[in-house]
Amino acid sequence: MFDKLEKLIARYEEITQLLSDPAVISNQERYRELSKERAEKTEIVRKYQEYKKSRTDVENLKHLAENEADLEMRELAVAELADTQAKFLKLEEELKILLIPKDPNNDKDCIVEIRGGTGGEEAALFAADLYRMYTRYAERAGWKTELMDWNDTGLGGFKEVIFSLKGNGAYGALKFESGVHRVQRVPETEAQGRVHTSAATVAVLPEVEDVEIEINPADLQFDTYRAGGKGGQNVNKVETAVRITHRPSGVIVACQQERSQFQNRERAMKMLRAKLYEAKIREQNADISAQRRLMVKSGDRSDKIRTYNFPQNRITDHRIGLTLYNLSEIIDGKLDEIIEQLKIADKAEKLQESRE
């Protein structure tokens, strides 16, 4: 661990020097790359410096506690040693967590797919609630939301809705949302006041660039059709909506949001790249997943990850055993506490794996 940290410190100092080099300053792209790399290393450098100071403090206090001739000074050293050692051990654990490799997709934009599951119209209404929850969270985070494709029920629900979220760290924040979300509540159509259980699935995909996934144009089948929905001069009149089928994998994507066929085609290609990229990552991680089901990292959409109980204003994330009684706030987009707890659990799981 310490060899890795010393190399990281050396690289940090090298970058600091490079950033003052006129040749680097004049190359804006290179300057941005180095600035970003330095920023990513700043926290761990600061933590390591704090760790080394704490280690020195422990060593000095141990020396005083064992060798100081003055009894009063020795007693003071012994009393202070316990707290200093506890701080030192805490810093050591924090350093280990910071050394865990960062998911390279965390800073990317993401594409979110929500589909109504079991429960008919109530499931579709719940899918619409989830859509509003994530878009409100995105609004609070200062991200941009772009609707890509949808299939509404006409009663305010969605059989399916696909949208992108653009903003720094969008995928890293929402990647743990993939899975089956279950709702328990009294539907508006329920005359007897009985609680029904419905479900919707959520998939969060990192948005990837052309260079990250190669697609052979010969493997694609393009179809156009008339867009559905309300308003717009072209809606239901011109075939602007686009459907793309990737023949080798069978993956199908569609987009109808834009007014032009070209724009819908571009968005559909983004969705396709994201889906194929996700499949590639899943295949690479197949061996790991076979050995151990990860507590948080699993994106298996067949898993029930969360239950929203409206009568009790309760929400439970089953992966980490977290139960909160502020469902009304969370469904309004205040997801910060759940997301933070999922991140903490993920880091703890990875740290445990690194020790095995």
Whether residue 289 sits in one domain with residue 222 = no
* Structural domain includes residue 320: yes
Q: What is the pLDDT of residue 212?
A: 67
Report the CATH number at residue 270. Answer: 3.30.160.20
The boundaries of the domain holding residue 28 are 2-98
* Structural domain includes residue 332: yes
Measured CA to CA, the distance from residue 306 to residue 342 in angstroms comes to 12
CB 306 within 8 A of CB 182: yes
Whether residue 215 sits in one domain with residue 174 = no
Q: What is the pLDDT of residue 290?
A: 44
* Structural domain includes residue 105: no
Whether residue 220 sits in one domain with residue 273 = yes
Measured CA to CA, the distance from residue 38 to residue 30 in angstroms comes to 12
* Structural domain includes residue 18: yes
Number of domains forming the structure of the chain: 3
Tell me the sheet residues that pair with 150. 161
Whether residue 216 sits in one domain with residue 202 = no
Report the CATH number at residue 90. Answer: 1.20.58
* Structural domain includes residue 104: no
CB 49 within 8 A of CB 95: no
Whether residue 289 sits in one domain with residue 270 = no
Q: What is the pLDDT of residue 300?
A: 40
Task: Tell me which of 283, 301, 316 is where a domain ends.
Answer: 283
Whether residue 196 sits in one domain with residue 125 = yes
Please give the chain's pLDDT, 356 residues, in tens. 777 788 888 898 999 999 998 998 999 889 988 998 898 888 888 988 888 898 998 898 888 888 877 788 888 888 889 889 989 888 888 888 777 778 888 888 999 999 998 878 899 999 999 999 999 999 999 999 999 888 888 888 999 999 999 998 999 999 999 999 999 998 876 667 788 899 999 999 888 776 567 888 888 998 888 776 544 444 445 678 889 999 988 899 888 877 788 888 888 888 898 888 888 877 766 544 443 344 334 434 446 899 999 999 999 999 999 999 999 999 999 999 999 999 888 887 877 766 65
* Structural domain includes residue 255: yes
Measured CA to CA, the distance from residue 135 to residue 338 in angstroms comes to 16
The one-letter amino acid at 216: N
Whether residue 90 sits in one domain with residue 165 = no
Kindly report the backbone phi and psi dihedral angles of residue 108, in degrees, each rounded to the nearest multiple of 5, phi listed first. Answer: -80, 160
Report the CATH number at residue 125. Answer: 3.30.70.1660
Whether residue 293 sits in one domain with residue 201 = yes
Whether residue 130 sits in one domain with residue 273 = no
CB contact set of 159 (below 8 Å; sequence gap of 6+)? 115, 116, 124, 127, 151, 152, 153
Whether residue 152 sits in one domain with residue 41 = no
Q: Take residue 243 and report the two structure tokens written for it.
A: 């459907």
* Structural domain includes residue 103: no
Task: Tell me which of 228, 250, 283 is where a domain ends.
Answer: 283
Whether residue 155 sits in one domain with residue 241 = no
The one-letter amino acid at 72: E
CB 326 within 8 A of CB 335: no
CB 198 within 8 A of CB 133: no
Q: Which of 80, 175, 187 is nearest to 129 (CA)?
A: 187
Whether residue 80 sits in one domain with residue 49 = yes
Task: Tell me which of 40, 70, 98 is where a domain ends.
Answer: 98
pTM: 0.68
Measured CA to CA, the distance from residue 175 to residue 107 in angstroms comes to 11
